[in-house]
Structure 1
Amino acid sequence: MDTEKLVQRFLHYVAFDTQSDEDNDQVCPSTPGQKVLAQDIADELKKLGLTEVDLDDNGYLMATLPANGVDEGPTVGFISHLDTSPDAPGGDIHPKVCRFDGKDVVLNDEKGIVFPVNAFPEIKKYEGQDIIFTDGTTLLGADDKAGVAAIISAVEYLLSHPEIPHGKVRIGFTPDEETGRSAAKFDVEKFGADFAYTVDGGELGGLEYENFNADNPVVTIHGIGVHTGDAKGIMKNALSVAAEWQQALPEGEKPECTEGREGFYHVYKMDGDVETCVLHMLIRDHDRDHFERRKAFLDQMAVFFNQKYSEGTVEVAHHDVYFNMLEKIQDGHMNVVELARKGMQAAGVTPVVAPIRGGTDGAQLSFRGLPCPNLFTGGANFHGRFEYLPVDSLHKACETVVEIIKRAYTLKVY
């Protein structure tokens, strides 16, 4: 595997500004840069010699690595997303490759930005390795352009090594994953894989097939605005009710207080004034029963507030986004997980199985009939200015994809 070429491919992809826009749900992709990158990659795939390269009007790109010396067996798929998170600046990225010596890394001399090792001590395990950082003003985009680079480099490797037999492979790259809308327009039937993997995980060794159930409720609070001089007994300040709502959520069941399989309630955005206030929330839980009880608790809170402040003060609109893929994976598809384990081990990677405190496209796709566990990309600190990507880990992500492809055609039940 040509590591330098792999790194240059990744650096080429992050030069494209592909931040998605969660507020723009009228068009897909939500930002034009995603389609620009998709077209660039489509041209690249054709030059590499892949077949059935198809880029649709919504920015979904699919292609085929034809079978080589194998007549039967399943079609395996690999999926990554083209967009980057809107949670931090994502345009005009200036990546830098540094040999990490275990000490703080100066990211930006001009602005005095330093990567603080004490704040992110987990990076110490990569001492002595080359790591790709940002200049401290933007995110890096390893989520998920590292996955895109790993997949394309893997199929390029197999194309250049025709002595390696393998079955048919489908690859897919999607827009707007960070908005939660990516899988909605993904054509599972056209993709045509029997099972797949999203290459969208974090640090080295990550293998995930269990994720949160997710509801994104919107809580609308209706107040009454009058002149403050005449407000007594009349004004109902929606902002005050919103603050009370936040305080009424169970103490200790918020993201900053939970880990592992512990679920939470989270108010992540509030807009409004005295008359109307809108709270955007997350409800997350790995257990489906607990998840449904959390949703019911919010409804009960609304009943209480409406009794206290008058009917119609609080409205709760639930929006289920995805469910725990474990429900589908454990129902006859654990061999797909075992295939990933063997692929990692063959690449010299120790699998690290843990529940995702989030979701992937694979969660929605698994419920649409495409079993789809998640594989690591090697990156860390996603969605922020201190995101980084160890080069060795990216290389191992690519090798893992190759090793899975080499073994996929032997899978008998899928």
Structure 2
Amino acid sequence: MQHIIDRFISYVIIDTESDSNSDTTPSTKKQWVLAEKLVEELKTIGLQEVSIDKNAYIMATLPSNVSHEVPTIGFISHFDTTPDFTGANVKPQIISNYDGKDILLNKEQNIILSPNYFKDLLQYKGQTLITTDGTTLLGADDKAGITEIVTAMEFLINNPEIKHGKIRIGFTPDEEIGRGAHHFDVEKFGCDWAYTIDGSQVGELEYENFNAAGAKITFKGKSVHPGYAKGKMINSMLIANDFISELPRGETPQKTKGYEGFFHVHHLTGSIEETVLELIIRDHNKKKFIKRKELIAKIAKKFNKKFAKQFGEDIVIAEIKDQYYNMKEMVLPVKHIVDIAEQAMLELGIKPIIKPIRGGTDGCQLSYKGLPCPNIFAGGHNFHGKYEYVPVESMQKAVDVIVKIAELTAISKPI
């Protein structure tokens, strides 16, 4: 397991935070640092056709070692981390033989990772955990996935007696800001299907996800000396607050689960003259997804009508952009690719947890680009924050699943 630990840590200590406000790909220059490191590592372990394009998309090949025809499959992960929480100066901590009690992440700031709050921790008593130091995220989303794919390919190279077909691997930038598949060359990748290794706890196997959109809403105002503001001042921050209050109160991430959709306000910056609200819109059901977008437009129209005479023009400007769609529609016609992954887990004694993703992966967009792409666990928990952790044993199990999928796909007779 030390090999996995060392590889994972070598990735997470490199800051790869993406930036939704950038119009470049990758969105931040620092993502190139890990991308270039990965290219060299893939060559070192013996993969072939290792390439990186101008947008930092990495691809490589493990050639087939069987004589019969086998589908070409792929494994995909992303190397950026979310801008929701800092990924700079990550200092991983190793908790060996976890005792099931509170973990003091940061003594100075009294930051504690507790099973009283994060009950999933108790599943990993006796295992080795990698945590943050309480001041950054960890980056297991999705550097755990990259670790697992590279380790699985290295294992297959070093154990040629394990039969497999041609395998392609792909690593992408900017998944966390919804652009991971935007410049992914599906034709160049050349796979019949693929799997993203980007899920959470052991056993997760997902082929349904949210339909997703992002909204940027700009509120205008008029600044006047507060002592003489009656009937004249328009405070854009207060209008933004009123707008948020119009959204369904129970339909937020912290109050929904399963197939329930939500509105999530994630950034709000402003002054009297102008306030910008950013939120995301999520729903598994396409009709409900459309209605959610329509509600944003309806509320904006209501405010514009209310202030039309006083302001003289639209006071609320709502821009909504679709990000990705539910992959279920693309995967169901080739459901056997999910069945193979499920069988791989069962043969390894892992209980499959088949459920909808309350989020998205590169696989969502890739499925609509012609590459069916279910999602498999990478093992981490509490992504996007200081309480993030990953059990090393879970990463090893993900490696085993990748290897087993490769084996099962190489069986000449149908599974």
TM, length-normalised to structure 1: 0.95
CA contact (8 A) 2:4 2:392 kept: no
- 1:412 and 1:301 map into 2 onto residues whose CA distance is 57
Aligned equivalent of 1:162: 160
**SS of 2:277 mapped into structure 1:** strand
Alignment partner, residue 173 of structure 1: 171
Alignment partners' CA distance in 1, 2:350 and 2:141: 20
Q: Distance in 2 between matches of 1:336 and 1:300?
A: 41
Contact map agreement 1:207 1:352 (CA 8 A) in 2: yes
Quote the Cα distance in structure 2 between the aligned partners of 1:351 and 1:50.
30
Cα deviation, residue 116, structure 1: 1.9
Q: Is residue 163–residue 410 contact of structure 2 (8 Å, CA) maintained in 1? A: no
Structure 2, unmatched stretches of 5+, are none
Q: How far does the alpha carbon of each residue in 1:338-385 deviate from its partner, in whole angstroms, 9 at most, with x for none?
A: 011011112221110111111111001111110001000111011111
- Read off the aligned partner of 1:379 and give its amino acid letter: G
Q: Displacement of 1:54 after TM fit?
A: 0.1
Q: Quick check: 353-362 or 253-262, which moved more? A: 253-262
The whole-number CA distance in structure 2 between the counterparts of 1:197 and 1:178 is: 17
The match for 1:383 is: 384
Q: Is the 8 A contact 1:73 1:412 kept in 2?
A: no
Matched residue, 2:404: 403
1:328 is matched with: 330
Q: Give the match for residue 370 of structure 1.
A: 371
C-alpha offsets along residues 63-99 of structure 1, whole Å, 9 cap, x if unaligned?
0000002331211000001111222221222222212
Q: 1:373 is aligned with what amino acid? A: P
Report the Cα distance in structure 2 between the residues aligned to 1:114 and 1:295, rounded to whole angstroms.
39
For residues 95-142 of structure 1, give each alpha carbon's deviation from its aligned partner in whole angstroms, at most 9, with x where no partner exists. 222121111122334554332221211111111111111222221111
Q: Which runs of 5+ in 1 are unaligned?
A: none
Q: Equivalent residue of 1:251, what SS?
A: coil
C-alpha distance in 2 between matches for 1:236 and 1:289: 36
SS at structure 2 position matched to 1:396: helix
Shift of 1:296: 1.1
Q: Secondary structure at the residue paired with 2:101?
A: coil
Question: Residue 103 of structure 2 aligns to which amino acid in structure 1?
Answer: V
Kindly state the Cα deviation for residue 13 of structure 1 after the two structures are TM-superposed: 1.4
Residues 274-303 of structure 1 show CA distances to partners (whole Å, capped at 9, x for unaligned) of 222221111110000110011111111122
For 1:182 and 1:258, locate their aligned partners in 2 and report how far apart those are by CA, in whole Å. 26
1:4-403 matched pairs, under 5 angstroms:
4-25=2-23, 27-98=24-95, 99-310=97-308, 311-330=313-332, 332-403=333-404
Secondary structure of the 1:247 match is helix
Partners in 1 of 2:22 and 2:158 — Cα distance?
A: 41
Q: Evaluate the alpha carbon distance shift between residue 70 and residue 91 of structure 1 in structure 2; reply closer, same or farther with a 3 A threshold.
A: farther
Contact 1:70 1:166 in 2 (8 A): no
Once residues 91 and 249 of structure 1 are traced to their aligned partners in structure 2, the CA distance between those partners, rounded to angstroms, is 34
Asked whether the 8 Å contact 1:74–1:411 carries over to 2, the reply is no
- Contact kept in structure 2, 1:70 and 1:165, CA below 8 Å: no
- 2:214–2:278: 8 Å Cα contact kept in structure 1? yes
Native 8 Å contact 2:66 2:410 kept in 1: no
Alignment check: 8 A CA contact 1:70 1:409 kept: no
Percent identity reads: 49
Q: Which AA in structure 1 matches 2:43? A: K
2:323 aligned counterpart, secondary structure: strand
Q: How many corresponding residue pairs? A: 410
Q: Which runs of 4+ in 1 moved over 6 A?
A: none
3-state SS of 1:250 partner: coil
Report the CA distance between 1:335 and its aligned residue.
Answer: 0.7
**CA shift at 1:399, angstroms?**
0.2
SS of 1:182's partner is coil
Q: Distance in 2 between matches of 1:227 and 1:94?
A: 48
State the Cα distance separating 1:412 from its structure 2 match.
8.1
Distance 2:9 2:17 in 1: 16
Deviations along 1:40-61, one digit per CA (max 9) or x if unpaired, are: 1111111211110001121111
Indicate conservation of the 8 Å contact 1:261/1:285, yes or no: yes
